[in-house]
Amino acid sequence: MAKFRIAVHITPRKGLLDPQGNAVRDALHTLGFTAVKGVHVGRYIIVETDAYDALTAEDTVTEMCAKLLANPVTEDFEIESAVPA
Amino acid sequence: MKFGIVTFPGSNCDYDAYQAVTDILGEEATYLWHKDHDLQGSDVIILPGGFSYGDYLRAGAIARFSPIMREVAAHAKAGGPVLGICNGFQIACEAGLLPGALMRNSHLQFVSAEVRVRIENSDTMFTNLYDRGEILRIPVAHGDGRYVAPPDVLEELEAEGRVVFRYVDANGNITAYANPNGSERNIAGIISEGGNVLGLMPHPERACSPLLGSSDGVRLFESILARVAA
């Protein structure tokens, strides 16, 4: 077993109303960043885990996302490649 | 009849539910600690409002894994009544007892107010003492109450009469203004396919006495009594 560190990005499902993202977008417009077309606010989670190898760690974290870290009804997730911790 | 009221760390409407059941309904109630594995012979389970586990990750996401939820899920699967109020609704959705999810209010503000909800289906074990189309005044208090579900699920809920409560204005119209959180189709409460799990964002247990401003929630509890005792 080795130690790995995997970052997970969780964002609101595309097409669903994202009031937080819209509020931040509007604030950016107010600040003069008028070119901003969209902002999406999500979560960034870092999982540190023991695993046999990097691929196993990634598979396990994908399962964690499906079961707990993300809500399959409202959120999308992407995991980054596992890096040795 | 015995009501089991689950207390999670962060629950804050468990006492209100207890009062409604014991003082108003005159029935037996017991608190069920989230770490328990036993429903103590409860006939009806109430998942109360509050902020279980501080709403960490998502509202209801962690509470769903409390030991007692395994028993609650088994009780629901066997057809036992489960009433999820506010955070309890969020937990029921996260646990898969009800479809869909509750997201951040569209206006991003916590809403604490009395709202109007219309009875969309009076043929359920939770609403049989109301009339269809009747408008109730019941308080809401939540930051994450915007009901969402995939379009096909919404259609299924509508077709099967499983949208039980909807936010409406004083005239009973479904308007955006009457919708306190941006819920799809003004949905305030839904019922499971089996008809034994109800989730709603408004707090019927806080509308059980004229002293509280409304008694419109009483019949929800009486309905359970009427149906389950029958």
Tens digit of each residue's pLDDT (9 = 90 or more) over B8-53? 999 999 999 999 999 999 999 999 999 999 999 999 999 999 999 9
Please judge whether B94 and A17 are an interchain contact, meaning their C-beta atoms are less than 8 angstroms apart.
no
State whether residue A74 sits within 8 Å of chain B by CB.
Answer: yes
Please judge whether A68 and B182 are an interchain contact, meaning their C-beta atoms are less than 8 angstroms apart.
no
Among A19, A43, A74, select the one facing B107 at the smallest CB separation.
Answer: A19
pLDDT value for B123: 97
Q: What size, in residues, is chain B? A: 230
Among candidate residues B125, B84, B118, B88, the one with its CA nearest the CA of residue B227: B125
Q: What are phi and psi of B147, to 5 degrees?
A: -75, 130
pLDDT value for B228: 77
**pLDDT for B77-133, tens place per residue?**
999 999 999 999 999 999 999 999 999 999 999 999 999 999 999 999 999 999 999
Q: What size, in residues, is chain A? A: 85
Task: Report ipTM (2 d.p.).
Answer: 0.82
Q: Which residues contact B35 (CB under 8 A, 6 or more apart)?
A: B66, B67, B68
Q: Which residues contact B155 (CB under 8 A, 6 or more apart)?
A: none
B142 is a catalytic site residue = no
Residues of A in contact with B146 (CB under 8 A): 17
Among B58, B101, B182, select the one facing A17 at the smallest CB separation.
Answer: B182
Please judge whether A73 and B100 are an interchain contact, meaning their C-beta atoms are less than 8 angstroms apart.
yes
Task: Please state, in angstroms and rounded to a whole number, the distance separating the CA atoms of residues B173 and B170.
Answer: 7
Query: DSSP readout, A6-72?
Result: EEEEEEEPTTS--HHHHHHHHHHHHTT-TT-------EEEEEEEEESSHHHHHHHHHHHIIIIIS-T
Please judge whether A19 and B108 are an interchain contact, meaning their C-beta atoms are less than 8 angstroms apart.
yes
Structure tokens at A29: 């417009």
In the block, residue with structure tokens 């059941």: B21
Whether the pLDDT of residue B5 is over 70: the answer is: yes
pLDDT value for B66: 93
Task: Please state, in angstroms and rounded to a whole number, the distance separating the CA atoms of residues B43 and B150.
Answer: 32
Among B101, B105, B182, select the one facing A71 at the smallest CB separation.
Answer: B101
To the nearest whole angstrom, how far is the Cα of A47 from the nearest Cα of chain B? 14
pLDDT value for B16: 96
pLDDT value for B230: 63
